[in-house]
Amino acid sequence: MNIRILFFFAPLRLCVRSFLNSVFRLSFSLFLSIACIAPLSAAEADKPAEPKPTSAAACPPYAEPTDESDQYNVETLLTGLDNPCAIVLRPGAATGSAYELYLSESGAGQILRLKSDDLKAPTPIVTGFPVDSYGDAKKDEPEYRIGPLGLAFLTPTKLAVGGAGLPQGEDLVVVFSLPADGSPLKYDQQEYAVGPIPKGPQSTSGEGNFYGLAKTDDALFVTSNGDDDQAWILKADLKANKLADLQPFIATKPLLGTTGPTAATVNPKEQSHYLVVSQMSDFKKDRDSLLTFYSPKTGKVALNQRTGLYDIAALAYSPTDQLYAADVVRADAKLGGVYRLDAAEVDGRQTTRAVKIAAAERPTALTFAPDGAMYVTAIGPRQAPDGEATGVLLKITPKNDPVKF
């Protein structure tokens, strides 16, 4: 039995620390829900966000990452994908039953559907997305063709897609109503869209490249690329299962001192229902990716942590509420991997330890299925859009207990 627990009673901590570290694996999700983040009071929840420094310099140092990848199986299900950037589980599937995964093949401008009875036979379900390029191979940067990016189901039949193929300041979050018979749709058959956020008072450049999508009961949060002085997380209201009024919500640069909000998820625990967002930060700096917990109501920072990872591109909670991350490592594809994020302690301060469970070249997204497997998309080693597509879909399972992550 893999028990993960952490005690925080200060008078006892010095006495039991050695015992706990030898017996228990520290759970990052439990660490956050029990101790580090107290729920905001009603008065605090009503106050607007106040920009204030909560930069990495104020965070405790991360614990050195460790490697447990020998405890996991990795199976390659699909190859030759053109810059896969998101993968989500269609809601409604019960444990042990058939399920569907939806994957954004960004460079191909399409969304693929994969059924659990044959995951190696994807079907295009929405095609014809506009496609643009991101990065510059001539400047020794990875360059990618990008179209549809983030995915989020609003209901089992309503799929929201973050766009990236239009000019800066014109990208949209589009919503599709999926036909009951599974027939494919064209991009222009979208039900509706929210956005854009053009160049203007809210953004000096206009916003776009909507990569991370995370849904709560009353909102959809979207990470964006645009005004580097603000580094916005956007928010659209969700009422009666319909999105409206996409607007800038959290200016992460003034709060954290760095740019690049990328991955987004929501802590599933009711008592710690926080918006969790990664900050990629500088392209050329090592291990500077941040993990930040925000109030979804006010945008206030509840916790900011160093992770010891380079460029977190994806976040997801497992069925047992463990938090996992995909590190794309933009500077060196061979360093990419998938990690569990555990609580740890350095010099008497609570912090984060990244535990590697699998290697992957430029992983971009991850999700969990009812059968206990983790599915991961990765771009692979391709550096320029004219090269051969090297994207893959991976299935990861624990060797010892395949139904529990």
pLDDT tens for each residue of 147-204: 999 999 999 999 999 999 999 999 999 999 999 999 999 999 999 999 999 999 999 9
Tell me, yes or no, whether 403 lies in a domain.
no
Tell me, yes or no, whether 274 lies in a domain.
yes
Structure tokens that stand for 10 in this block: 């200060």
CATH at residue 18: 2.120.10.30
* 145, 129 contact by CB (below 8 A): no
Q: Which is it for strands 63-67 and 349-359: parallel, antiparallel or unpaired?
A: parallel
Tell me, yes or no, whether 2 lies in a domain.
no
Tell me, yes or no, whether 32 lies in a domain.
yes
Q: Is the dihedral of CA 91, 95, 97, 102 positive or negative?
A: positive
Tell me, yes or no, whether 404 lies in a domain.
no
In the chain, pLDDT over 90 holds for what percent of residues?
Answer: 73
Range of 79's domain?
10-398
CA distance 254 to 232: 10
Tell me, yes or no, whether 5 lies in a domain.
no
Q: Residue 244: which H helix or E strand, with range?
A: strand 242-251
Tell me, yes or no, whether 202 lies in a domain.
yes
Q: Which is it for strands 219-223 and 232-239: parallel, antiparallel or unpaired?
A: antiparallel
Q: What is the pLDDT of residues 334-377, one digit of tens each?
A: 999 999 999 999 999 999 999 999 999 999 999 999 988 999 99
At residue 112, what are phi and psi to the nearest 5 degrees?
A: -105, 145
Determine the longest span between alpha carbons in the chain, in angstroms: 63
Structure tokens that stand for 142 in this block: 């990875």
What integer best gives the mean pLDDT of the chain?
A: 87
Which position has the higher pLDDT, 118 or 282? Answer: 118
Burial class of residue 365, CB neighbours in 10 A (0-12, 13-18, 19+): buried
Q: What is the pLDDT of residues 86-123, one digit of tens each?
A: 999 999 988 778 999 999 999 999 999 999 999 999 99
What are residue 267's DSSP bridge partners? none
Tell me, yes or no, whether 125 lies in a domain.
yes
Structurally, how many domains does the chain consist of?
A: 1
Q: What is the pLDDT of residues 33-53, one digit of tens each?
A: 433 433 444 444 445 454 444
Rounded to an integer, the average pLDDT of 216-238 is 97
